[in-house]
Amino acid sequence: MSEEADRQRVPVLRSEPAHTLWLLVSRLGTLFLVLWFYSWFRKSFFQQGTILAFANALDIIHWQALLGLNVELDLQRRVLGEAGWIDAFNLHYRQLKTVLFVAAGLALLRDRPGFTSVWRLFLVTTAIAFPMYALYPLAPPRFMGPYGYPFVDTLATFGAAPNATSGIAAANQYAAMPSMHVAWTAIAALWLAVALPWRRVGAIIGATHLGTMCVTVMVTGNHYVLDIAGGFATVGAAWAILAVAGLLAKTWAPVPTVMSVGSVPRVTLTGTVILIDSLPADVAGEGWSRGHHVPAATRPRSAEPGSRRR
């Protein structure tokens, strides 16, 4: 059988544009629904009294003072005099979900197993954060003015932000711990690292985005340092759960599933796309009949007994 004739065979399984489009729409649509449900459920069922939320905030400030971590107010004051910086930080804070969607789409297009692994991490991270707002309501720094901490709500003061208490998916005002802005930005950074592995471009972009978000949530008066630590801890806990369950490593390397339809299949891996063509059993030879994963006819010449390098 000639090589040209073999190439003209129609593969049993092949990545098609329509299938790729369906994956993008379905996965990104699911991501949107998860984020919407998260915000709606958090506001609808986890609203706690203000007394406990402010008491917890004062505790956070006290603990951070003991650790020398009360840097949020000084950081914000340094930026308030620069209108351009304030606008930049406000914009960066608002683009959380945009970057998350773009990163997810790129990862899905370029590395589906990698996308799936981080997708599971996103779901478990979000699930872990759900009960935290009921167990530990926390007033953000921007609400602490009456207690002697004159933080400015930069989004409301300089960014013409809409009322955060309006709309069905509005945010819970006392849900600062953990910082999901930081946690979800970490997820986006991982998707970028998966999508753009060349010279670690994605990892560098993701790390820069994540570091900037950590500063942003403090400059805008939305989170304390310990909230940021809580966001990282939430992602770390989700990672540990998935690692123990064996649901991370399995998805990083593509594992082909071969089905034979009336003949012996041939498997070719191109990145994460699996192409399966059929070869007659008499062409495959003994390699397949003996149970080897790769038929004899598809092995490199150097793998054949008695073959010599040229």
Question: Quick one: tokens of 243?
Answer: 């690692």
pLDDT at 4: 54
Task: Read off the pLDDT of each residue in 242-258 and give the average, rounded to a whole number.
Answer: 62
pLDDT of 159 above 80: no
17 or 151, greater pLDDT: 151
pLDDT of 217 above 90: yes
pTM of the entire structure? 0.72
pLDDT at 158: 82
pLDDT at 120: 95
Gap between the Cα atoms of 179 and 310, Å rounded: 60
CA angle 240, 241, 245 (to 5 degrees): 115
Task: Read off the pLDDT of each residue in 72-100 and give the average, rounded to a whole number.
Answer: 91
pLDDT of 292 above 50: no
Q: pLDDT tier at 248 (50, 70, 90 boundaries)?
A: confident
pLDDT at 279: 43
Average pLDDT across the chain, whole number: 77
pLDDT at 17: 80
* Sequence-ordered list of residues with C-beta below 8 angstroms from that of 187, at least 6 positions apart, any chain: 100, 103, 118, 121, 122, 125, 235
pLDDT at 15: 52
Q: pLDDT tier at 270 (50, 70, 90 boundaries)?
A: very low
Q: H-type helices in 68-200, by residue range?
A: 72-80, 83-94, 96-110, 112-129, 132-135, 154-157, 180-195
CB 218 within 8 A of CB 75: yes
pLDDT of 305 above 60: no
Gap between the Cα atoms of 6 and 53, Å rounded: 69
3-state secondary structure of 117: helix
